[in-house]
Structure 1
Amino acid sequence: MAELLIADEIVVEAPIEVVWRVVTNPELMTGWFADVVDLVIEPGARGRLRFGDQGGPVVVEEVEPPSRFTFRWNHPEGSEPLAGNSMLVAFTLAAEGPERTRVRVVESGHELTAWPDAEKQRYADEHREGWAEFLARLAGVVLP
């Protein structure tokens, strides 16, 4: 099987506080990520993300301003998101000087599902492409 790792990063020309706000403010998230973000950004919060005609539940796990934000998604409706039935998305932000921020996103958990290997690979490939697109959009949205 090919690489299952879903990870990408980008350096944004803006201070970490500005990038953090764009990554974690639901109103601003619609400019680079989901079409609809119905979510409060606090640990344990439950909400929904919508991408066109697709979407589903999301649960916030960690919020550590201005450096770490994680959530679980893609778990079956009505179930508790756990390792094996959901994916964990982790954003890590690191200042690289006063006006530059490295944003890294890692999505994991698909490798723990009971899916066939081909489905795990399809998911990894599609989401790797998706995160590259989302990060490129993020860089275009961030304005100091």
Structure 2
Amino acid sequence: MELGTLERHIHIDASPEVVYEVVSRPEHIREWWSDEASLDPTPGAVGEISWHDGPTETLTVVDADPPRRFSFRWVAPEGAAATDTNSLLVTFELTASNGGTQLHLVETGFREKGWETAVLEEQYHDHETGWDHFLPRLRDRAIAVGADR
């Protein structure tokens, strides 16, 4: 099994503009992903997300192209700037589809981190499980935000 790229697809009954806002704005990220979030969704901006029962992660925005693409790097060593060899890259690609949005999530960089095989497998599967849990919450949040407009 290839553990270098994690991909997920989900259809969301909300416009790409709404979905983009939900994946990139801290007030929405707090509702579907982390307990706390501080992030300016502009390229080069550095922010944080955290969970009450877990770690704080630094996010570095790589690409912000509303309403088509939002990407960030995370899981870099503490105190180090995120690069393509020391962090994971998460990209949300959004495409209008059937009156809503097709979200394509890609997370890469697992092999580039240089983890030993056991750590690589554990991290990859942890992220798989995480996205499988959080993407339906993202979908529900986007539908709710879209319904409020």
Using the aligned pairs only, state the percent identity.
35
| Runs (5+) with no aligned partner, structure 2 | none
The aligned length equals 142
Residue equivalent to 2:71: 70
Residue equivalent to 2:118: 118
Shift of 1:121: 1.0
| Runs (5+) with no aligned partner, structure 1 | none
Rounded Cα–Cα distance in structure 1 between residues aligned with 2:28 and 2:126: 24
Residue equivalent to 1:3: 2
Rounded Cα–Cα distance in structure 2 between residues aligned with 1:69 and 1:39: 13
**RMSD over aligned Cα, in angstroms?**
1.2
Shift of 1:123: 0.7
Shift of 1:51: 2.3
Shift of 1:110: 1.2
Tell me, what secondary structure is at the counterpart of 2:31? Answer: coil
Shift of 1:3: 3.1
For normalisation by structure 1, the TM-score amounts to 0.93
Equivalent residues of 1:9, 1:135 under 8 A apart = no
Tell me, what secondary structure is at the counterpart of 2:19? Answer: helix
For normalisation by structure 2, the TM-score amounts to 0.90
Residue equivalent to 1:19: 19
